[in-house]
Each structure stands twice: as structure tokens, then as C-alpha cells.
Amino acid sequence: MSEPWDAVVIGAGPAGMAAASTLAEGGVRTLLVDEQAELGGQIYRAIERNRADPALARILGPDYLKGGMLVDRLRASPAQLALSTLVWRIDDDLTVWTRTAGTVAAVRASAIIVATGAMERPAPTAGWTLPGVMTIGALQILLKSARLTPSGRLVLAGSGPLFYLFARQCVAAGVKDLTLLDTAPTRQMWSALPLLPSALGGEGWRYLTKGVKLLAALRLARVPVYRDVRDIAIEGDGRAEAVRFTTGRRAHRLPCDTVGLHEGVIPHQQMTRSLDVAHDFDEAQRCFRPRHDASGRLSKPGIFVAGDAGGIIGAEASAQDGAIAALSALHDLGRLTDEARDRRIAEAGRVRRAHLTARPFLDRLYQPRAAVLDPPDAVTVCRCEVVTAGALRDVANKGAPGPNQAKAFLRCGMGPCQGRLCGPTVTAVFARETGLDPAETGYYHIRSPLKPITVGELAGAAGAVEREG
């Protein structure tokens, strides 16, 4: 085991970069670990390369380019970076287990900040396992990482800010045959309207103005948009060929070559679940999030959560969240006085709140339909083990109370993704079938390794620890 670090930050998105910079600038030995080969997380993916490409920078937009300031600050700080490095376990004594290029190592920390960000909400629908069907987030990764856009007929189906942002980026990148299927129920606009006045405060008006501009640009480009879409099913013989859906009382069928699905984002919860800390169900965002205090502190001593990993708040607020967690950790480590901590946290908190004024409005406007969380019987929910929604309902009716018991019957959640792609839906299906709320239904018990590692890698790590001991 290597020499202990004062702080280990997990995740190099906006929260993680801000946290690591703040910690290192505060004089503590800081290690930033991220599974990707480049800084930026998902929102600022490949920012160091892409900001030097004027054409791509124009496509991705000014909000994306803001990530460059976080990267520059981090690069100028004394923080040490461990990129292309997977964290697969965290022990109660704050030992962080990693894997880099097939080598397993353990590092000890005095403080840990989990800033693993968000993932797209799984959106199981008929045909979603066909080749040619991807999430919008995956399509955007191709654009950011390799400047690739889908050829042929592209259909984007879903709702939320990323749904319209990526559509606008596709138009800017030259995609010609694009159709949008907006699944947000029209009635949610009316229920969200009472929240609009408060959404205009702080920085909220900027977010709403950006949304209006996105819609205007798509209208100007004459992109077809179907609204209040439901009953989506993707057809194809060996790959996606058409999308069937309903709007109002009319059924439609659109030929396609590529389909992008998106129903919002939810916190990455595998790592915080593995820590065995409490998680609460957020009714507004329809997802679980780890329970933490205002500074991001979890119930396990020395461990904090920051950014979207603690609840969806967006990139700008996440950076402030990372700074707040780091300032609290600096105080714990004896590097900040009470007065300095409180003053700096108050300032970061003020900026954070300004970026959150529109969040309740957006959460209400884009809350996913019940059918998105509770798909028809024939739809595959667990892709790894090929378990359908109907099979889940069957074991629920036979007395299985929740996701963990379903594992014994069906092996759902036991494949390579370890429940990431099925867990939220399995909870929703069981909650609907048993009449319990999602908090009572619960989620999978998550254990290490958080992602697969080989027996040989484990043996190598055990040998190294034994030799050091």
C-alpha cells in the first residue's frame, strides 16, 4: 500500500475537478481518480482536445467550453491525477482500491469525496435492445470523443434538457434527417407553470432563455417534433428499422436508421450504495440519492458526496458542490479555521443556490411518464440476464417483495452491469405491483467489486499487500 493521501477525489467531472483543485490549493496531498483517459466527466468530456477545434466548439456550445476553466485550474494545482483508473472498492477505513492497466492497488485517505456524477435513466421499451438503438448520452459521447454523428434517418425519443440540447447539436453538426418524439406529457406544462416565477430568479432565467433558444433553433431548422408521445416501440429485423408511437388518438410509424432514447438523468448510486449508507427516494426526480448533509457529508466518517452523485443539480451547481465538500474536508484536516470555512462555504452556497432556482420547474416539467418506469410485460428490463417486466411482475405476485429477492428467482441485476441498467426499473415495477412506495421497495444491495476485475488482478493485489506487510 502506498503512502497515505490526505484526500482522494473520485470522478473528474465538474464536482470532482473543483473539489480536487480546492483541496490541493489548500495544501493537502490530493489524488484525483477517474476511469476515463481525459478530464471532464460526461458533461465536459474531451474538453481539452475539443476547445482547440473551433468547428466542434461551435457545435457543442459555450456552456460546454466553460469546462475549460475547471480543467485549467486543476492542471495548475498540485493535485495528482490518476486517469484511466477504476475505483472498485472503498473500505470503512478509507482505503480506496483501484485498477490501472490491469494492476490493482490500494491507497489510504483521510478524506474521500465521491463525485461520480450522473447516468441516464434506463428507458426500457419494446425494441430497445436492437442494434441501432442507443441512449442520447451515448450518441453525444461519440460527438464529443470522435466528432461522429449518426448517418441516415435519426429519431430522438424522450424528454429533458439534454434531449433538446443534443438535437440542437445534431443540427449544428449537419444532421439532415432528424425527428424528435417528445414524451413529456402536455399536462405537466400546466402543473409546472406555478413554479415558473421562482425559476426566473438567480441564474434560472439564463437556463430558461437557453431552452427557448434551443426550441427556436430547432423550429428554424424545421425539425419535425411530435409532442405528448407515448407507447413507443422500435421495430426491426436484426437492427432498428422503424419507430411506432402514439400521439393523442393517432398511431404513427417512422422509418429510421438510428434511435436515441433519453428520459433524464439520475445519480450514479453504485458506489454510495456499496458504502452501506442510507439513500432516500426523491419524488420530484423519481430516483434514489444518498442521504447527506449540507456539506455533502455521508454517515460514514470521512466520506463526502458532491455534484450529481448526491442528487441531480447540473454542472454549474456541481462545481460549487465540489468546492463546498472540499472546504469541509479541509476544515476536518485542520487546514481551515471555522471562520474561513464558513465564509467560503457561504459564498459557494450562494452561487450554488443561484444555479438551482430553475431546478424545481424543470423537474416538474420533465418528470418521466409512469409507463417509462413501468414498461409492458414483454419488454426486456435486465439486458444482461434477459429478464422481462412480465417475469418481474410474476415473481412479485408470488411473494418476492423487492429487487434483492428477485435476484434469487431471476438473476436480474447479476450480470456485468451489476444492476445499473435495470435497478431503477426493477424498483419501479415492484413498487407498482406490491403497492409500496419506492423507498419501501428499496434497491439492490451493492457489493464490491463495483466493476468486474479478474482473479489474477486480485491475486496480484493480495501478493503486493502481503509483501508490504
Torsion angles phi and psi, residue 47, rounded to 5 = -60, -35
Q: Is the pLDDT of residue 467 over 50?
A: no
* Residue-range domains of the chain with CATH: 5-119+266-336 (3.50.50.60), 124-262 (3.50.50.60), 373-441 (1.10.10)
Q: Is the dihedral of CA 332, 337, 341, 342 positive or negative?
A: positive
> How far apart are alpha carbons 147 and 26 in whole angstroms?
38
Q: What percent of the chain has pLDDT over 70?
A: 98
Cβ-contact 44, 100 below 8 angstroms: no
Cβ-contact 183, 230 below 8 angstroms: yes
Task: For residue 206, give the C-alpha cell.
Answer: 439564463
316's CB contacts (< 8 A; 6+ apart) are: 14, 66, 203, 355
Q: Is the pLDDT of residue 47 over 70?
A: yes
* The total number of residues written for the chain in this structure: 469
155's CB contacts (< 8 A; 6+ apart) are: 178, 179, 180, 181, 243, 254, 256, 258, 259, 260
Q: What is the pLDDT of residues 63-121, one digit of tens each?
A: 999 999 999 999 999 999 999 999 999 999 999 999 999 899 999 999 999 999 999 99
User: For 61, left (φ over 0), alpha (ψ -120 to 50), or beta?
Assistant: left
**Residue 457's pLDDT is what?**
85
Q: What percent of the chain has pLDDT over 90?
A: 91
Provide the whole-model pTM. 0.95
**Residue 369's pLDDT is what?**
87
> How far apart are alpha carbons 233 and 236 in whole angstroms?
10
